[in-house]
Structure 1
Amino acid sequence: MHYGKLAAVQGVSLRVEPGAVTLVIGVNGAGKSTTLRAIAGLHRPTSGVVTVDGRAITGRPAHDVVRDGVVLVPEGRRIFAPLTVLENLRMGAYTAKREQTAESIREIFELFPILQERRSTPAGLLSGGEQQMLAFGRALAARPKYILLDEPSMGLAPAVFDTILDNIGRMAATGIGILMVEQNAEACLSLAKDVVILAQGKVAHSGAAGALQSEHAFLRTFLGESAFSAAKSERDG
């Protein structure tokens, strides 16, 4: 991926397995969000290929990528604040078959019971954690095979993010593959199967997440102290 002559992402190669979480971490400007947006069809790669279950979807427009089974939950959630919870979910289901919408919403309410309680509430009146659950539910309404999560912890208190991580684990348990960009590396390593570290738009490391859980010195080399000290200070506070 290039922005003008600037190469934002170069030779990034990664894989997401059904029912598993692949975690992408790195400092700001490492190319994490750009990678997600290229996969989601919001940016057109200057080279390379994106495949879903062996079929190339490179360069297809974003609405077709959703139909191909890949949905992005963007940074900052981007819910439709004036619309109710139920209306937001129906918006997410716009690419799904009409007869599947009711079933999809029922399944979403089972996964996130608070959304059923708030179904008639304008989305803008939800708490930050509830809005994140709504963003997840809106993505699930499209019945995706894979979900791309961009910084789901943004703006959330640590205790709330613990609940969000549990939600992500339950979504993966349904068989959906999840590619997650997240600054809070310490909190997410136990959830992920694989981890990819990006530095200056390139893969600096990739491998099993479990192997890195105790390698804080190694991770600090790529992420800096803030990825750990901030999480610790929030817990201690």
Structure 2
Amino acid sequence: MLEVSDIHVSYGKVEAVRGVSLTVKPGKVTLVLGANGAGKSTTLKAVAGLEKPTSGTIVLDEKPITGMPPHAIVRRGIALVPEGRRVFAPLMIHENLRMGAYTAPKSSYDETLAKVYEMFPILSDRSHAAAGLLSGGEQQMLAFGRALMSQPKVMLLDEPSMGLAPAVVDSILTKVRAMADSGIGILMVEQNAEAGLDVADDVVAIARGEVVFTGPATSARDNASVLRAFLGEAALAGQ
């Protein structure tokens, strides 16, 4: 289980994250909602080791990982799927997947690859195609597969539906649900709130770097705090 407790993250004199706490359980999807600039992606980067919290703690399976370098955090069992997918476009699909397995035991490579191909058959069918030739949805599946190759306990997904056609979004988020159902904890930032809520178990809403709501997805849709957080600064004025 991933436990984030009262973390603060600053960019110079600007405090982007102010006391965020959340929990990600195995096999569950925790959805992070909020307006642009609320601190959602910064929270993911702090968990992944790309930003160092100024205070607070991050614990995975009762072992602290706060401030550890990214490669060490991957080895502990956390994988980030970044915004915009960021696949290695000139490399073939199977080469992208091999890059994802860099920190994983070599003895389990074939078994993990087989599981990835089973979940994403298109990657198997086109394993020798250059990643840059894939559609946006296929590249997102490759980004998922690359993260899965590290054998994560928790996956951090930053805007997985960004830039995708509406018809593709449902299939991508269905894969998110399938990854969670396999036992992986998912912490997902998703601007498409309605689609995200359809696959989420729990919701954390952030406004101005602070948590304004934590609870089950079933109670988040009509919660005033969630709506205000998602609408952003204008809705929060005068609160």
Q: Tell me the TM-score normalized by structure 1.
A: 0.92
Q: C-alpha distance in 1, partners of 2:227/2:69?
A: 37
How far apart in 2 are the matches of 1:73 and 1:56? 22
Letter in 1 for 2:99: M
Pair 1:117-2:125 in alignment: yes
Per the alignment, residue 146 of structure 1 pairs with 154
Instruction: For residue 183 of structure 1, report the CA deviation from its aligned partner.
Output: 0.7
Matches within 5 A, 1:202-221: 202-213=210-221, 215=222, 219-221=226-228
2:26 to 18, 28, 45: 18
Separation in structure 2 between the aligned mates of residue 12 and residue 56 of structure 1, nearest angstrom: 16
Which residue of 2 is the match for residue 42 of structure 1? 50
Aligned pair count reads: 224
In the TM superposition, residue 220 of structure 1 has moved relative to its aligned partner by 3.2
Report the identity percentage.
59
- The letter of the residue matching 1:45 is P
Residue 206 of structure 1 aligns to a residue whose secondary structure is: strand
In the alignment, which residue of structure 1 is the partner of 2:163?
155
Picking from 199, 223, 229, the partner of 1:222 is 229
The residue aligned with 2:174 is 166
CA distance in 2, matches of 1:222, 1:199: 5
- The amino acid across from 1:224 in the alignment is L
Letter paired with 2:229: F
Within 2, Cα distance between the matches of 1:34 and 1:222?
16
CA distance in structure 2 between the aligned counterparts of 1:216 and 1:8, rounded to whole angstroms: 24
**Alpha-carbon contact 1:25-1:197 (below 8 Å) kept:** yes
**Structure 2 unaligned spans of 5+:** 1-8, 233-239
Q: CA deviation at 1:218?
A: 5.4
Cα displacement (A) at 1:216: 7.0
- Match for 1:124: what amino acid? G
Distance apart, 1:5 and its partner CA = 1.3
> What is residue 71 of structure 1 aligned with on the other side?
79
Q: Supply the distance in 1 between the matched residues of 2:225 and 2:212 (Cα, whole angstroms).
A: 11
Taking the aligned partners of 1:142 and 1:182, their CA distance within structure 2 comes to 23
Q: Is the 8 A contact 1:190 1:210 kept in 2?
A: no
- Aligned-residue RMSD, C-alpha: 1.2
Query: So what's the TM-score if we normalise by structure 2?
Result: 0.91
| One-letter amino acid of the counterpart of residue 110, structure 2 | A
Q: Please give the secondary structure, in 1, of the residue aligned with 2:98.
A: helix
Query: Shift of residue 102 of structure 1?
Result: 1.1
Larger strand share, 1 or 2: 2
Q: Structure 2 vs 1, CA of residues 126 and 167 (structure 1 numbering), >3 Å: closer, same or farther?
A: same
The residue that corresponds to 1:8 in the other structure is 16
Instruction: Give the corresponding residue for 2:237.
Output: none
Deviation at 1:38, TM superposition (A): 0.3
Q: Does 1:80 align with 2:88?
A: yes
Q: What residue number does 2:202 align with?
A: 194
1:145–1:177 Cα contact (<8 Å) kept: yes
Q: Which amino acid aligns with 2:228?
A: T
Paired residue for 1:94, among 92, 99, 102?
102
Contact 1:45–1:58 (CA under 8 A) maintained in structure 2: yes
Q: Deviations over 1:56-92 (max 9, x none)?
A: 0000000000000000000000100000000000000
Return the alpha-carbon distance in structure 2 between the equivalents of residues 216 and 193 of structure 1: 15
Contact 2:17 2:43 in 1 (8 A): yes
